[in-house]
Structure 1
């Protein structure tokens, strides 16, 4: 299973940025065919990204591709160019609900067969809040499609659609409509039992702000974050990796319940723990790659 802790965007037409990205330590590189590529460069970017995918065996991060949205008329050509060995996932922007995941999956499946890939190899990460219609369809992702790996959220396209003048308060926090989008994405991911991924932090020079925001995101339940610059990856990885103290406590809780399988509540070191604590402990261990 691909780890979704740090996901770094790389423009699909920049060899230089791809080279930097592959050395960044990110868990995932998102090779972008959408907003980062000018219309005149779309075809060239498809060719370039296909070449990068051919190098995937020599690259540590998993490679995803953000395709153009379904309503652009570019989606099928994007998929035809990039569904090949080396592709781990598709990022689907401006999705309006789970039906869009099914549509993309139906386009991917025959391409996997042509490429001699096992059907279902290519997973899908959905940007789930970029249209007003999407906000009313977040519950549709459960039960999750077999390809659905996670849900993330976006603010810029949604903001343009609803006519905002700003999506941030004076102190840098999200305005209320975007707090709603963020929270509902988190709930939708939990409901579908897929990874909740926080959106990007735009100011890549603000290390302290990024760290503070990542710690809040992890506190709230997000398990990873999108990065827009390689310099953000180290902070994201560190903030979304459980500390040794957290891991030690989680191991203690899971061990105690394993030794007392019929217990609903246990006292451990003078504190009471119940099943929700066990669920949280298991998630902490899973975030570190432990069972």
Structure 2
């Protein structure tokens, strides 16, 4: 499953869900949590379920349900019974145990945990390896945790994350790769700042993230471009693979004026595999 871009869409807005089907997002996240007021939850559940059951599919449709301990989850799952979402996005997940708890209640539906929204969650980021068969990726957030611990902000004045939240980002990245699942970067809230988004998304791909969540349709082309290998990158990757194929048994080669070894070969093969995965 290719997951370069995942767009949040309010679960109580059928008009926006319908419109989002025509956008170039790899997956839509129909949201029953933060974007839906408590008094509107029942209506949003019904609208989301009806949308999922319709014939207007053509894109991966995920649902962000309410947290395990919210008192709202059972109603979410009951409303979505037989609606067949492609995955559940689990907010305020606290490690593999949270995934297992949801999987018992909704067997057979892959899970994308949001893995850094509570203090306890931070200490469970290595536990997702044990439930890799139940999850399709791992993502994080930098908004709920500051509120939970009384922090003033997760960001510096220039917009960069402060050290505690850079740590969370890194741990999520490594936790995802340790579990061999997609590493999904969190949202870029300044949705009108497309230049800032482009730099942020490029940095995410550089660091090893495989995709990113979006909060506005205008962000999708920028995110997709950042997480799609360029023709030049693919040509170089293929040249590295060819160089090693032409020199079997060699662990180190001279290539384009520099030395390359097996990690470069592994990286090249990974890039070519990603491109093949993204092909229509």
After TM superposition, the score normalised by the length of structure 2 is: 0.93
Contact 1:25 / 1:61 at 8 angstroms: preserved in 2?
no
1:192 equivalent in alignment to 2:191: no
Please give the alpha-carbon distance, in whole angstroms, between the structure 1 residues aligned to 2:104 and 2:52. 21
1:215 equivalent in alignment to 2:234: no
Contact 2:21 / 2:58 at 8 angstroms: preserved in 1?
yes
Equivalent in the alignment of 1:34:
33
Contact 1:101 / 1:145 at 8 angstroms: preserved in 2?
no
What are the superposed Cα offsets for residues 44-63 of structure 1, whole Å, 9 maximum, x if unpaired? 111111111123x5433200
1:49 equivalent in alignment to 2:48: yes
Contact 2:91 / 2:114 at 8 angstroms: preserved in 1?
yes
Equivalent in the alignment of 2:121:
134
Q: In 2 relative to 1, CA 8–269 (structure 1 residues): closer, same or farther, beyond 3 Å?
A: same
What are the superposed Cα offsets for residues 190-243 of structure 1, whole Å, 9 maximum, x if unpaired? 111111111000011111111111111111111111000111111000111110
Please give the alpha-carbon distance, in whole angstroms, between the structure 2 residues aligned to 1:210 and 1:231. 11
1:209 aligned counterpart, secondary structure: helix
2:34 aligned counterpart, secondary structure: coil
Please give the alpha-carbon distance, in whole angstroms, between the structure 2 residues aligned to 1:210 and 1:123. 28
The equivalences for 1:174-189 within 5 A come to: 174-189=161-176
The equivalences for 1:94-243 within 5 A come to: 94-109=92-107, 120=108, 122-243=109-230
State the 1:4 CA deviation: 1.0
1:100 aligned counterpart, secondary structure: helix
1:88 equivalent in alignment to 2:86: yes
RMSD between superposed Cα atoms in Å: 1.8
Please give the alpha-carbon distance, in whole angstroms, between the structure 2 residues aligned to 1:166 and 1:42. 29
Equivalent in the alignment of 1:21:
20
2:25 aligned counterpart, secondary structure: coil
> Which has the higher mean CA deviation after the structures are superposed, 97-106 or 81-90?
81-90
2:106 aligned counterpart, secondary structure: helix
2:221 aligned counterpart, secondary structure: helix
Please give the alpha-carbon distance, in whole angstroms, between the structure 2 residues aligned to 1:19 and 1:252. 43
Contact 1:144 / 1:194 at 8 angstroms: preserved in 2?
no
Contact 1:102 / 1:145 at 8 angstroms: preserved in 2?
no
1:62 equivalent in alignment to 2:57: no
Instruction: Give structure 2 stretches of 5+ with no counterpart.
Output: none
What are the superposed Cα offsets for residues 152-210 of structure 1, whole Å, 9 maximum, x if unpaired? 10111101011111211111111111111111111111111111111000011111111
State the 1:258 CA deviation: 4.5
Please give the alpha-carbon distance, in whole angstroms, between the structure 2 residues aligned to 1:10 and 1:286. 30
Equivalent in the alignment of 2:265:
278
What are the superposed Cα offsets for residues 106-155 of structure 1, whole Å, 9 maximum, x if unpaired? 1112xxxxxxxxxx3x2111100000101011011114431211111011
After TM superposition, the score normalised by the length of structure 1 is: 0.90
Contact 2:132 / 2:180 at 8 angstroms: preserved in 1?
no
What are the superposed Cα offsets for residues 37-88 of structure 1, whole Å, 9 maximum, x if unpaired? 1111111111111111123x54332000000000012212212322435411
Please give the alpha-carbon distance, in whole angstroms, between the structure 1 residues aligned to 2:248 and 2:75. 53
Instruction: Give structure 1 stretches of 5+ with no counterpart.
Output: 110-119
What are the superposed Cα offsets for residues 11-34 of structure 1, whole Å, 9 maximum, x if unpaired? 000012212321220000000011
